[in-house]
Chains A and B, each alone.
Chain A
Amino acid sequence: MSAQSDQINDALTALQSALDDAANAGPYSPDLEGSLDDITGLLQTVQNDLLTQSEQSLLDALNTNKAQLQKLNADIDAYTKSLGQTADTIKNVSNAIGIAVNVIGAVVSAGII
């Protein structure tokens, strides 16, 4: 596809150059100038299409792995959250035991036990 577009691009560029040379050799005729304008317009379209097609083809290729990497990212995210929750749990248990020990200390001080 791209190779063909490249050939069209090259052919149009050559045609534009030839017409331009012909126009420069003598006075500009309205017909010649009109043809040159048309070819320039065509060239513009072909060159733009070449670039956008090229970028689109990369995006299509990347998209095949994109979904899988997104899934992996979501899995890492979930795992990291669970890791944070584990650290929180250890922290909470440690705090709770600390508080319980404090309470027992207070009870012992008061002579209840």
Chain B
Amino acid sequence: MKKSETLTILIGLLLLSGCASLTKSQLTEVNQFSQLTKSFSAYPQKVFTTLNGVRTQEQFFMAGTIRDPKKHQQSVLKIDTFRKTGAKLDEEAGLAFQIINDYAKKLVCLTANVYSLQVDTASKPFGTNLDNLIGKYNSIVPQHAVPTGLGALFAELVSFGGDLYIHDRQAKGTKEFVTRGDTLIGAMAVTLEAFLNGNDNSLMHSIARERENVNINYLEFLKHNDEEIRITYQADTVYGKSKLRKKDSLGKKDITITGQLYAWRSTGIGADSLYINLLDNLGADELLRQQCLEAVKSLRKAHHKLMEDLQEKKTLKEIYAELQDYGNSIGQMNSTLKTIK
């Protein structure tokens, strides 16, 4: 019997003993999806942390309107409490989203190619040893010489058989876990979608409300902090009119509070730039929220399509559009994230 015939028969037997339920391209496709999802949780969490960060800083405008020392102190302490509570909630949210990342990481491990490589590496020395033995046998019993090169053939067979067996188990596991995961990922995605885009409690609503708060509280801060400027204005006028140069010559009547011409001076660059910074961050946060919403929808769609394709034995080419959309969403979120200060 020829070597190739032996190999064919043995391969045939192996194939009959365990048929792989998924193609290698399907495992690759699961792996690709999971690689994209590994960093997913960072984005919705950033929407929270940015919003809470804006809220924390914006409250200094509120505190800045309170003149009574005790009440002012209470207001500042409220900022501190909010900052701590917000950080705790952000952390909890991060952990909740992290589970989606963990799921993706575990799918990456499950579908990795390392197991087949392990088997391939092990089978090579086995083949070499077998060939050496055949060589020795043939030198002792030349009349019953065994064909040389069988060692390499058996090594190939062990490698192929092991690879097939591992691949079969990987495929069965992947199919089972992705099917189970689809309902859970779907439910988590729907919850997140509603939160990102719904009414009342949604992040969309919170960001819009926070923008209003920033504008109102900044204006309140300006209104309550213009006294010194009025003095400056009046003093300037007195200097200009009477050409007085000595401060001592200014009487109480000369510094009567009037007008608001130089109100901008009271805030200084710090408060004004904080206001701009908060608006910028809110703008970026809103963009990130919209991108997160698209990404969550893409995640749900891509996972569901993946699950369907695993059932139907489709190839990578057929899911490519969903994966590409999902990949694009992740890329966009990553760009926006970098703009938040």
Contacts and interface: CB of A to CB of B under 8 A. Distances in A.
A79 B137 CA distance: 43
Contacts of A95: 122, 125-126
Nearest to A17: B216
Contacts of B128: 98
A70 to B, nearest CB: 6
A79 to B, nearest CB: 5
Given A73-B106, A98-B126, A88 B118 contact: yes
Contacts of B126: 94-95, 97-98, 101
B103 A69 contact: yes
A85 B244 CA distance: 93
A72 B115 contact: no
Contacts of A86: 115, 165-166, 169
Contacts of A108: 133, 136-137, 140
Nearest to B189: A65
A76 interface: yes
A78 to B, nearest CB: 10
Nearest to B68: A37
Interface string B27-71: 000000000000000000000100110010001001101111001
Contacts of B102: 73
Interface in B74-107: 74-75, 78, 81-82, 85-86, 89-90, 92-93, 96-97, 99-100, 102-103, 106-107
| Interface size class of chain B, counting residues whose CB lies under 8 Å from the partner chain | 35 or more
Q: Is the interface of A mostly helix, strand, loop or mixed?
A: helix
Given A51-B86, A52-B85, A52-B86, A65 B136 contact: no
B99 to A, nearest CB: 5
A64 to B, nearest CB: 8
Interface of A: 2-3, 6, 9, 13, 16-17, 20, 24, 33-34, 36-38, 40-41, 43-45, 47-48, 50-59, 61-66, 68-70, 72-73, 75-77, 79-80, 83-84, 86-88, 90-92, 94-95, 97-99, 101-102, 104-105, 108-109
Interface of B: 48, 51-52, 55, 59, 62-63, 65-68, 71, 74-75, 78, 81-82, 85-86, 89-90, 92-93, 96-97, 99-100, 102-103, 106-107, 109-110, 114-116, 118-119, 121-123, 125-126, 128-130, 132-133, 136-137, 140, 158, 162, 165-166, 169-170, 173, 177, 180-181, 184-185, 187-188, 191-192, 195, 200-203, 205-206, 209-210, 213, 216, 220, 223
20 contacts: A3-B200, A37-B66, A41-B74, A41-B78, A52-B82, A52-B85, A58-B192, A59-B92, A69-B100, A70-B99, A72-B184, A73-B106, A76-B109, A80-B109, A87-B115, A87-B116, A91-B119, A94-B119, A98-B128, A108-B140
